């Protein structure tokens, strides 16, 4: 049994949807969240820069004595997960593998849709991960750039989001996908709207949930679970505090953030 | 008479709306456009970084022998225009002054609305510029984060943009503004949609047009106009070429870009 916290890292606030699932499936674990809000978004940055930023985040989380790290950011997973696992000896997992595995398991007709930011879709990271499991699966990606600002406006359940969902997703429905991966950490907030737009025949895959189940298994396999019966707590760190944080964090977690601290991340 | 080109600089592609107005009001002038697409957006970056990037852009444009420079970027104008004019001796103008002056001249009831990105609205740059002309004018800012991705999707004239316009602007109408500054270089693309949402009693102010008239006057005053009767040409430079460029550039300029080159901007 290991009482040390789990570290969760994202370029911004989207990773809070992953944190929420970790809290749901591992309710006794303490967690430390770090959002690199001063340097978000990572999407347009070079691989070299993203590796540097990711390593700084890992160094910071290690300084908080974490036992394992979840990279709750599609871009950082795609660009820096392999390098992180080569350079550090604690368990580090990303969001893409788990989502890809769930998609490969879910699809019946071997046609999977992936939605995400332009960066994630162009990187083809999910395509590669799914093809490496079953190369017969056809993977159709669709970038949905409006979804993140719609979520951040708090408009996820308004009519405008439903309109955007149809504009983006009708073409995926026509192409016959039977599973759809929510390949951006903001998208679980739109789950109901997206589900209504695509209909119940298309299964939605939430990598946040799959990632939580993944880290749970990793901790079990390595005897690192916290088996106390006390409910875990969560501490929040960001590299820049702005008014957006409490608004979006409230929307994502459905609870108030009381323990928020600023980190000088370039020092790590 | 001076045949050298005018340099136009933006963090990305939004400045093309300013270029278009310059080409309209100064059809005989050659122009050089530089979009810092590798480092867009400037919004979240520190003042120090924005000054550095702006100076690099100016150095690059000067290496192309420009006679004057337009900073066609609200963020770079707000953060770096003063410093640029202190450090360089060619005429350099930004987009905020001209828009502020037009707003102060247009408003009858002294209630002006400003719409822009969160960065521009939070900087209060337009508020300060308008108040410095007439401190009795009440300035009401409203950030509209959906507008840029709506334009970049090519959805500016679709129903969804009209919905977003109402969601953002109805509160400004209720507060009684009689003039509305399009305080982001992407927004002129939404002019028709925004105009329909606010109604014809509210005058829209396009700083791109005002800036073009400003640079025209500056060139006249300094005897720098190109008085040849040949139609000017435009060369386009960006720090990163992606597929987005031709799509958005086409949408903005309503003409094809044939002369596009990549610049290693960090060398300047």
State chain A's mean pLDDT as an integer.
93
Q: Which of B149, B163, B167 sits opposite A145 (nearest CB)?
A: B149
User: Is the Cβ–Cβ distance between B6 and B67 less than 8 Å?
Assistant: yes
Residues B102 and B202 in one domain: yes
Contact of A249 with A256, CB cutoff 8 Å: no
B144 flagged as catalytic: no
Residue B109: what pLDDT? 98
Same-domain status, B193 and B110: yes
Predicted pLDDT at A191: 95
Chain B interface includes A174 (CB < 8 A)? no
Domain shared by B159 and B222, yes or no: no
Q: Which residues of A touch B38 (CB under 8 A)?
A: 44
Longest Cα separation, chain B:
50
Tens of pLDDT along A6-48?
Answer: 999 999 888 999 999 999 999 999 999 999 988 888 876 778 8
CB nearest A160 (choices: B149, B152, B164):
B164
Residue B43 lies in a domain: yes
In this model, does residue B10 exceed pLDDT 90? yes
Q: Cα(B13)–Cα(B16) distance, rounded to whole angstroms? A: 6
Quote the minimal CA–CA distance from A160 to chain B in Å: 7
The answer to the question of residue B178 being in a domain is yes
| A184 plus A233 within the same structural domain | no
Q: Are residues A90 and A215 in the same domain?
A: yes
Pick from A38, A146, A159: CB nearest B150: A146
Cβ-defined contact of B160 to A160 (cutoff 8 Å):
yes
Res A47: pLDDT: 83
Q: Across residues A206-234, what is the average pLDDT?
A: 94
Q: Which residues make beta-bridge pairs with B33?
A: B8, B236
Residues B32, B95, B144, B184: which is the catalytic one?
B184
Phi, psi of B26 (to 5 degrees): -130, 65
Q: How confident is the model at residue A120, as a pLDDT?
A: 87
Q: B258 and B214 in one domain?
A: yes
Strands A92-94 and B31-35: unpaired
Same domain, A241 and A189: no
Chain A neighbours among B 30-59 (CB < 8 Å)?
Answer: 38-40, 44
pLDDT at A219 over 80: yes
Q: Does A155 touch chain B (CB under 8 A)?
A: yes
Interchain proximity A153–B159, CB inside 8 Å: no
| Pick from A26-30, A46-50, A84-88, A221-225: least confident | A46-50
Reported confidence tier of residue A210, pLDDT bands at 50, 70, 90? very high
Q: Dump pLDDT digits (tens) for B102-139.
A: 999 999 999 999 999 888 898 899 999 999 999 999 99
- Cα B233 to its chain centre, rounded Å, is 20
Q: How far apart are the first and last CA of chain A?
A: 29
In a domain, A194, yes or no: yes
Domain annotation covers residue B1: no
pLDDT band at B243 (very low <50, low <70, confident <90, very high): low
More confident residue, A44 or B50: B50
Structural domain that includes position A70: 6-94+209-267
Residues from chain A contacting residue B265 (CB–CB below 8 Å): none
Boundary of a domain, candidates B207, B228, B259: B207
Spatial strand order in the sheet of B6-10: B92-94, B68-71, B6-10, B31-35, B234-238, B260-262
Q: Is B11 annotated as a binding residue?
A: yes
Whether B163 and A167 lie within 8 Å, measured CB to CB: no
Pick from A145, A158, A81: nearest CA to A118: A145
| Whole-angstrom Cα Rg for chain B | 18
pLDDT tops 70 at residue A243? no
Structural domains in chain B (count):
2
Q: Any chain B CB within 8 A of the CB of A102?
A: no
Instruction: State yes or no: A10 annotated in a binding site.
Output: yes
Instruction: Indicate the burial class of A242 (C-beta count within 10 angstroms; 0-12, 13-18, 19 or more).
Output: middle
| Residue that terminates a domain, selected from A206, A231, A257 | A206
B145 and A160 in contact by Cβ < 8 A?
no
Last residue of a domain, one of B207, B222, B249: B207
Q: Judge whether A1 lies within some domain.
A: no
What is the distance in angstroms between the Cα of A24 and the nearest Cα belonging to chain B? 32
Residue A196 distance to chain B (closest CA, Å) = 18
Q: In angstroms, rounded to a whole number, what is the distance separating the alpha carbons of residues B23 and B20?
A: 5
Confidence at residue A40, expressed as pLDDT on a 0 to 100 scale: 81
Beta-carbon contacts of residue B254 (< 8 Å; ≥ 6 apart): none
Query: Is B236 marked within a binding site?
Result: no
Residues B166-215: pLDDT tens digits? 999 999 999 999 999 999 999 999 999 999 999 999 999 999 999 999 99
Least confident of A20-24, A80-84, B32-36, B248-252: B248-252
Find the DSSP H helices in chain A: 16-25, 47-63, 74-87, 96-106, 118-123, 125-133, 147-152, 159-174, 191-198, 207-221, 244-253
CATH of the domain at A159: 3.40.50.1860
Pairwise pLDDT comparison (B249 vs B148), residue with the higher score: B148
> Any idea what the Cα angle at residue A26 is, between residues A25 and A30, rounded to 5°?
145
Assess if residue A133 is contained within a domain: yes
In this structure, the answer to whether residues A68 and A10 fall within a common structural domain is: yes
- The mean per-residue pLDDT over the stretch B87-102 comes to 95
Q: Is B74 annotated as a binding residue?
A: yes
Pair (A82, A172) in one structural domain:
no
Q: Are residues B198 and B249 in the same domain?
A: no
Which are the catalytic amino acids of A? 73, 184
Residues B187 and B234 in one domain: no
Q: Could you tell me if residue A75 is inside a domain? A: yes
Name the pLDDT band for A114 (thresholds 50, 70, 90).
very high
Min Cα separation A137/chain B (Å): 27
One domain, residues B203 and B213: no
Structural domain contains residue A196 = yes
Contact B54, B9 (CB under 8 A): yes
Out of A62-66, A249-253, B108-112, pick the least confident. A249-253
Rounded Cα gap, residues A220 and A28, in angstroms: 13
Region label for A154, one of left (φ > 0), alpha (ψ between -120 and 50) or beta (otherwise)? left
């Amino acid at each position: 049994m290991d009482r040390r916290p789990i570290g969760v890292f994202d370029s911004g606030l989207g990773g809070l949807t992953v944190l929420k699932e970790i809290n749901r499936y591992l309710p006794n674990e303490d967690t430390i969240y770090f959002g690199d809000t001063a340097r978000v978004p990572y999407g347009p940055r070079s691989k070299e820069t993203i590796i540097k930023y990711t390593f700084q985040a890992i160094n910071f989380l290690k300084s908080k004595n974490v036992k394992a790290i979840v990279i709750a950011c599609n871009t950082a997973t795609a660009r820096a997960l392999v390098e992180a696992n080569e350079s550090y000896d604690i368990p580090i997992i990303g969001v893409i593998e788990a989502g890809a595995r769930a998609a490969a398991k879910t699809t019946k007709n071997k046609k999977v849709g992936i939605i995400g930011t332009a960066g994630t879709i162009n990187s083809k990271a999910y395509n590669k991960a799914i093809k490496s499991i079953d190369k017969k699966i056809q993977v159709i990606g669709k970038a949905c750039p409006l979804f993140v600002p719609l979520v951040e406006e708090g408009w996820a359940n308004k009519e405008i989001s439903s309109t955007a969902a149809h504009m983006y997703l009708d073409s995926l429905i026509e192409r016959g996908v039977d599973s759809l991966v929510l390949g951006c950490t903001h998208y679980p907030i739109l789950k109901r709207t997206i589900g209504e737009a695509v209909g119940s025949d298309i299964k939605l895959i939430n990598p946040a949930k799959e990632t939580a189940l993944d880290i749970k298994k990793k901790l079990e396999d390595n005897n690192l679970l916290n088996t106390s019966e006390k409910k875990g707590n969560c501490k929040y760190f960001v590299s820049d505090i702005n008014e957006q944080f409490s608004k979006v964090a409230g929307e994502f977690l459905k609870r108030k953030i009381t323990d928020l601290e600023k980190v000088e991340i370039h020092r790590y």
